[in-house]
Amino acid sequence: MNDYYAALGVARDASPEEIKRAYRKLARKLHPDVNPGPEAADEFKKISQAYEVLSDPEKRQAFDMGADPYAQAGAAGFGQGFSFSDIMDAFFGGQAAGGGRGPRSRQQRGQDALVPLEIDLATAVFGGNADLVFDTAVICPTCSGDGARPGTGTRTCDVCQGAGQVQQIQKSFLGQVMTTRPCTNCRGFGEVITDPCFECSGDGRVRNRRTMTLKVPAGVDSGTRIQLSGEGEVGPSGGPSGDLYVEVRVRKHAMFQRQGDDLHCSLELPMTAAALGTTLPLETLDGTRDVDIKPGTQAGDTITLKGLGVTHLRSAVRGDLLVHANVRTPTKLGPQQEELMRQLAKERGEERPEAKFQPVNHGLLGRLRDAFAGK
């Protein structure tokens, strides 16, 4: 029986990555293009067989239990060892493993991918283009996805003779049971790659950095996921790509806070401006707009600028921009200013004002909290 672990120079408990690194190192040294000669060719064949067995979890398990698909090419493709799936097949006939369907295609659909994207508030409001840079599985440029070294190909599996599956008769307490299961030598493909590609080790794909431009729709918010069909990871052997999901995160803005489709900001006003009224410029996401402060504006009052909020995600309708007034009361008054205030209080009959107490949720703090809560 072959010792595939010794052929690659790894321990029996080696991880898949350790096995892959060992094979690549030996393949570069022993490949016929680098080291011509019959001895090197034989050694290269041995390590290729060893990698083919140890890189496949099911085939490796069978080998660890005493089976060697290259040493015994019988009808079952196993020696005298049995895996857990063998036992299950003895009871259920192996049909769950795909018996009777013939060889399966090497090309499988790739996995979906999730990529984060950070954008500013203006892009969330109006939409725009954003550059995505991410690592993903792409078709191997060396073998163009077929997994074989250029100039080589595949051969019919010696174990299943191209059927992709094997049959085996086993004895159980129920009597003799014939099971059909995928061939462990070719993993159900019916063919074996004779000379795996250096770049991808026969997988037909490699990891690479990819850049693409994404059109961000107006109205997205943090947590929004944008699905791009067929832009995910390419499948094994050049199979169809999965989908790409882009998860949006909107950076905090220095001025505006978003609540649904509305934007909020606060405006600090001098007491005199709030009492007399004024017009102040505000730099919005749409440019400079005038904010009209009506005479008698109170702390917590809201000035609404229609249609200057966030675009609704599924329509062209926009929310509003709400400006919350915060009236600033002077803390230090000069003698002349204090006298003027006393005269104003006297004129308004407020020298001894009557206090009006209200619950917190109905006062200034309540109005501000309700405004930012969207109530």
Q: In whole angstroms, what is the distance from residue 27 CA to residue 4 CA?
A: 14
Residue 208's H or E segment, with its range, is: strand 205-216
Q: In whole angstroms, what is the distance from residue 50 CA to residue 55 CA?
A: 8
Which one, of 312, 25, 361, lies nearest residue 34 by Cα? 25
Q: In whole angstroms, what is the distance from residue 73 CA to residue 69 CA?
A: 6
Look at the block and give the residue holding tokens 């999730």: 114
Terminal Cα distance for the chain, rounded: 77
- Partnered with residue 33 across adjacent β-strands are none
265 is in an annotated binding site: no
- Chain centre to alpha carbon of residue 309: 30
Q: In whole angstroms, what is the distance from residue 263 CA to residue 256 CA?
A: 6
Which one, of 190, 106, 204, lies nearest residue 149 by Cα? 204
94-128: burial string, b at 16+ Cβ within 10 Å, e else: beebbbeeebbebbebbeebebebebebebbbebe
With beta carbons less than 8 A apart as the criterion, state whether 270 and 139 touch. Answer: no
Helices (H), the chain: 4-8, 16-30, 38-54, 57-64, 84-92, 121-126, 271-276, 335-347, 364-372
What is the Rg, in whole angstroms, of the alpha carbon atoms belonging to the chain?
37
Angle at 324 between CA 321 and CA 327, to 5 degrees: 150
Beta-carbon contacts of 149 under 8 Å, excluding residues fewer than 6 positions away, are 142, 143, 195, 196, 197, 198
As annotated, the binding site includes 140, 143, 157, 160, 183, 186, 197, 200
Binding residues for Zn(2+): 140, 143, 157, 160, 183, 186, 197, 200
